[in-house]
Amino acid sequence: GAVVSQHPSWVICKSGTSVKIECRSLDFQATTMFWYRQFPKQSLMLMATSNEGSKATYEQGVEKDKFLINHASLTLSTLTVTSAHPEDSSFYICSAYGTIFEETQYFGPGTRLLVL
């Protein structure tokens, strides 16, 4: 149990395009989902927290217009990187926190984004 998927796992795009990343909880309902960004050889940096049906809460310094988060259902959250630029290249990881597994977040496999 407690499986979280992320799609796509890899994406390469040209500067100026928008990229959507999906995060799904496959076998539980995720009341809260988190989006993280991880730079090489660094720890995870929380970008935003999203609760189903409400607006995401962004961490200080994260541009909400650049990183659009939608948590439309209890099993799906999406992160859209709008007008991506090379500095947005990173490893993006989502996690889900559900009503069944109250003690911990479960993580997706991550999405590597490369903006050329």
Confirm or reject binding of residue 42 to other proteins (CB under 8 A). Answer: yes
Q: Is the peptide bond before 8 cis (omega within 30 degrees of 0)?
A: yes
- Closer of 87 and 103 to other proteins (Cβ): 103
Tokens of residue 19, six digits? 């990229």
Q: What share of the chain is helix, strand, coil (3-state, %, to 5)?
A: 5, 55, 45
Half-sphere exposure in the Cβ direction for 109 (13 Å, CA): 8
The binder of other proteins chosen from 49, 80, 82, 89 (CB under 8 A): 49
* Shortest distance in whole angstroms from residue 67 CB to other proteins: 17
- Angle value at C-alpha 53, between 16 and 78, nearest 5 degrees: 30
Q: With CB under 8 A as the contact rule, which of the stretches 20-28, 66-74, 78-86, 90-98 interacts with other proteins?
A: 90-98
- Closer of 82 and 107 to other proteins (Cβ): 107
* Shortest distance in whole angstroms from residue 73 CB to other proteins: 19
Do residues 108 and 4 touch, judged by C-beta distance below 8 A?
yes
Q: Please tell me what DSSP assigns to residue 1.
A: -
Confirm or reject binding of residue 62 to other proteins (CB under 8 A). Answer: no
Positions touching other proteins (CB under 8 A) are 32, 34, 38, 41-44, 46, 49, 57, 91, 93, 95, 97, 103-107, 109-110, 112
